[in-house]
Amino acid sequence: MMPLQAKFYPCPNCGGAMTYLPATKNLHCDYCQSDEVIDVERFDSDSKLNLDSYLSKATEYHPKKIKEIFDCPSCGADINFEESTISKLCPYCNTPLLTSPNNPLKPSAVLPFVVNHKEAQGFFKKWIGNIWFAPNALSAFVDTQKALNGLYIPFWIFDADTVSQYEGERGDAYYVTVNKRVYENGKEVVVQEEERRIRWTPVSGNTSRRFRDLPITATNILPSKLLAKLEPWATEELKNFDLRWLSGYSTYEYNLTLEEGNREAKSVMKSIINDDVLRSIGGDEQRVYSISTNYLDEKFALPLLPVWSSSFSYAGKEYNIIINAVSGKVVGERPYSYWKILFLVVSILIVVGVGVWFYNNH
C-alpha cells in the first residue's frame, strides 16, 4: 500500500515550508522572511454544540485508533503518524507536516501560540531558578535547543447553568466561662477558661452558578493533573479551526471520550458548587446533608490549546514540564538533588555544632 501524502504550506515566494509565527496572525517563511496572513474569524461561543444530543449517541463519536504512514512531500521519507496525531515535524528534514483530523468530532477552535520557543526557554529557566535543590543537570538541560516541544493539546470545554437546592445546618460559635481543675506547683487549683461551643441551626436554600469554558483535557498524551494547573486559558481569544495554525507544531486529537470529559467536568462543578453552598450557609461551621443540582443549557466545544512541553530523565525516573504557551505559566514535576540536600544538612549540623562549642566554652 502506497503511503498517503502529507501536506505543508509552501511559501508563495520561495517555495519553502511556512510555519505559524507565535503572537501573530501569520504563516512565516524562515528562508525568505515572507509572511502570509491567516484570515480566520474568532470562534463564536454561540456555535458550541448541545451536550445532551451528542451524549445520547456518544458511541458514534468515540476516537478512532488509526496509525498511518505518510509520505513527506519534501524529502520523500515515510513518516509514521501515531494514533491521534494530525501534525508534526518530519524527523528527517524538519518540514512541518499536516493531515486531516480522523476522529468523528473535529476540532472546533484553536488558541494560537503566543509564547515563542525562545521566550518559553526563558520561562523554563526562571522556573528552574526558583526551585530549591534542583540538580545541576536540569539547568544544563534547559539550555539545549530541543528541550521544549510545541504541542497543541485537545480539550473539552463545557458550559452549564446550574441551580442547586441544599439542606444542612449552620454553626455559630459562642463562648462560655467554665471552671477547670489544674495543677500548679504541685497543688490542685480551679481556674476559669473560655470554652468554644457551636449553636447549630437547620438551614435550607439554593445557589446558582454559570459555568463557561470549563476546560477538561481530552488526551492522555500529557499528565492531566499538570495540564489542569495551566489554567486559566484565554478562551476569549479562540479562533476558528484552520490547519494553518498547526503548521510547525505537533497536534493531537482527542483519545478520551466526551463521556469521560463530561464526568470529569461534573466532578469539578460539584466541588465548586459545594463551596458555594458552604458560603451560602455561612456561620463559623457548616454541615451539608444534601445538595440537588439541575444542569441547564449544557454545551461543549473541542478546541486545541497550545503548550510547550518537555520531559527530563533523572535517576531512572521521568519528569514532565509543561508551559502554557499563551500566559507563560510553568508547571512541572521536579527531581531533587540529594547531594545538595545532604550538603545543606551537613552545613546546618556544622553551624549548630560550632554554636554549641562556642556556648560551652564562653
Reported as a single tens digit per residue, the pLDDT across 79-108 is 888 878 999 999 999 999 999 899 999 999
Residue 91, Cβ neighbours under 10 Å: how many?
Answer: 11
pLDDT of the residue at 354: 59
**Cα atoms in the 13 Å half-sphere on the side-chain side of 245:** 27
- Residue 2's pLDDT is what? 47
pLDDT surpassing 70 at residue 342: no
Task: Give the percent of the chain with pLDDT over 90.
Answer: 66
At 341, the pLDDT band (50, 70, 90 cuts) reads very low
Worst-scoring range by mean pLDDT, 154-168, 268-282, 337-351?
337-351
Proportion of the chain above pLDDT 70, given as a percent:
85
| Tens-digit pLDDT profile for residues 207-234 | 999 999 999 999 999 999 999 999 999 9
pLDDT at 141 > cutoff 70 = no
What does the pLDDT read at residue 181? 84
Q: Does the CA dihedral 274-276-280-285 come out positive or negative?
A: positive
- Cell numbers describing residue 114: 503566543
Query: Residue 5: enclosing H or E segment and its boundaries?
Result: strand 4-5
Do residues 10 and 102 touch, judged by C-beta distance below 8 A?
Answer: no
Look at residue 358 in the predicted model and tell me its pLDDT: 67
pTM (predicted TM-score): 0.84
B/e letters for 109-141, b = 16+ CB within 10 Å, e = fewer, are bbbbbbbbbebbbebbeebbeeeeebbeebeeb
